[in-house]
Structure 1
Amino acid sequence: MRHISIFLFLILVGCKNETKNKTEIGTENQSEITTVIENGIDQSVSEMWNDFVQSNPEFKNDEIPESDFFHNNEKDANRLAKLTLNGKKRASSGLYSLYEQYNADLPTVGIKQIVTDFNGNAKAIIENVSVDTIPFNKISKEYAAMDMGTDIEPLKKWKKAHWDFFESFLKESGKKPTEEMLVVTVEFEKIWPKNE
């Protein structure tokens, strides 16, 4: 389970939404909210999506996006949700080899996600605007600043945090990180709420 949880963090797939049932939101009715709650999704996720759809009716027939938090612990998940909400965090990174290992699809441009805190409370809706695969040692300072949500030594902080995280995960499968390991980089924009 630890492998799956870590992998889901890396690819921004709903750790809290392990079922594949999605609910279309076009109207606000109790059965939709009940379905969401039964599937292990916090009611705030449905409510946030409903608010977004009411202000953006062109999405009324879209399914609720996956909901998830960043990182694998409460402190970091809540900190990164706050950075996403205030627009400082605008990127995320995953290890390419994990996508291959789990035969998972790479993220794509245009996909939306509801970012939650560690407890599953909806904080923001984001949309992928750029996806690339870059060697670890080629990550730019600009990208690191978007991912870390800071402009104070962002590349140094990004490399330390991601090296340590990737190393701990790879160790369990008998592998080691390298400077050339491929990283899936995802840039996103916060699309809801509009201003915080």
Structure 2
Amino acid sequence: MRSQGRCPWVDLRKPDYIAYHDEEWGVPVHDDRRIFEFLVLESAQAGLSWYTILRRRDNYRRLFAGFDPARVARFDERKIQELLQDPGIIRNQAKVKAAVNNACRFLEVQNEFGSFDAYIWRFVDGRPVVNEWRELADYPTTSPQSNALSRDLKQRGFQFIGPTICYAHMQATGMVNDHTLDCFRRREILVSRAVGRVK
């Protein structure tokens, strides 16, 4: 069920999905901890629906130290096994270990560039790519920018970070504005950004 004036992927039967679309999706994110949060969640999503992860987001926040990459980077094997016993997250060993590995790599990027924000936004030249989609079928799963980002992250040792995951991350964090032309949030984000008050 699609609501008039919202993107075609929004399901009106799911209030939390509506809230995510209306309040977060596509808003430019420049806070490193929030960027890390979306990297962890998008990587956990691999092969699953975003809604599956969204429903577990609070559990991930609780179990992954509030998405503090410095703390997650210190998770040892015992902690990983503890996480794998908790039904509140996706209990996939490879994904959980990837989150810990990616936290370590995240800190390395911060050290090199001063912030992860400074690093990742270079892939869109520091400003959102604004697309003009009308229907669900218009949405791509990758882009030249997500391909480049994935390739670079993999070279830096990140895991579970293919081009499709990178594109989903870019959509979530506003590196691309993929709200459809008839979606009320598209204009709100564009106008807010123009006056420096994106929310």
For Structure 1 versus Structure 2, the TM-score category normalised by the shorter chain is 0.3 to 0.5
* TM-score, normalisation: structure 1: 0.32
Which has the larger helix fraction? 2
Q: TM-score normalized by structure 2?
A: 0.32
Compare the two structures and name the one with the higher strand fraction: 1
Which is bigger in relative contact order (C-alpha 8 A, separation at least 6)? 2
